[in-house]
Amino acid sequence: MTTPTDDAVRTRVLDAADRLYNARGIQAVGMDALRAESGVPLKRLYQLFPAKEAIVAQVLHRRHDLWTSLVEDAVATAPAPRERLLAIYDMLARWFDEDDFRGCVFINTFGELGTGAPRLAEIIRAHKADFQARVAELCADAGAPGSLAPQLAILAEGAQTTAAIAGTNEAAGHARAAAETLIDLALGRTTP
């Protein structure tokens, strides 16, 4: 009988942690719950992750990679620079319809822990800055001023929070309509 590799066990723990943190929140999930969900003994959990914060950090890094992939996949399907910016909001609408959508894990984590966990706050800030930088690149590709990027990013962030609270994907449509207005204004277009 073979035993799972450290990487396989680590993946199982992180998958379980992601599910539990998304469903219940970070503070509500103790190591015993993580042990039960993952099927990994507590001693083994602590061998792989010296503290709960290390698990949360890895979950956030994985979510960052997932978010980046979702954005890039959405952008890749759009035929023109303006549509690439709007594709972000179409992606949000699809995400908001998923059964396990509970809002942005980064916003939720910061809401729970604030600056009390500086390492995690740094990961969250880096994620948000990375998204805003990507939106700035898309704005530049569209010929829009740099000031448009934070405005569009804030619309996306607000839509995530609103959708989590409302339980519908309507916020994505509202954010998309507002983004379209802002983009057209920034590009000097008149809307019909």
pLDDT score of 4? 75
Residue-wise pLDDT for 10-42, tens only, equals 999 999 999 999 999 999 999 999 999 999 999
Structural contact between residues 17 and 56, judged by C-beta atoms closer than 8 angstroms:
yes
Residue-wise pLDDT for 98-128, tens only, equals 999 999 999 999 999 999 999 999 999 999 9
Structural contact between residues 138 and 84, judged by C-beta atoms closer than 8 angstroms:
yes
Mean pLDDT of the chain: 95
Task: State CA 103 to chain mean position distance.
Answer: 8
Closest alpha carbon to 159 in 144, 177, 172, 147: 172
CA-to-CA distance for 76 and 34, rounded, in angstroms? 37
- What band does 5 get if pLDDT is binned at 50, 70 and 90? confident
Q: pLDDT exceeding 90 applies to what percent of the chain? A: 93
pLDDT score of 3? 66
Amino acid (one-letter) located at 48: L
Kindly compute the dihedral angle of the four CA atoms of residues 141, 143, 147, 152, in this order, to the nearest 10 degrees.
Answer: -60
Q: pLDDT exceeding 70 applies to what percent of the chain? A: 97
| Domain boundary assignment for the chain | 1-50, 52-186
Which CATH superfamily does the domain covering 52-186 fall into? Tetracycline Repressor, domain 2 (1.10.357.10)
Residue-wise pLDDT for 140-166, tens only, equals 999 999 999 999 999 999 999 999 999
CATH class of this structure's domain 1-50:
mainly alpha
The CA-atom distances, in angstroms, between 191 and each of 86, 171, 173, 182, 184 are 15, 21, 17, 10, 7
* Residue given tokens 């042990």 in the structure block: 35
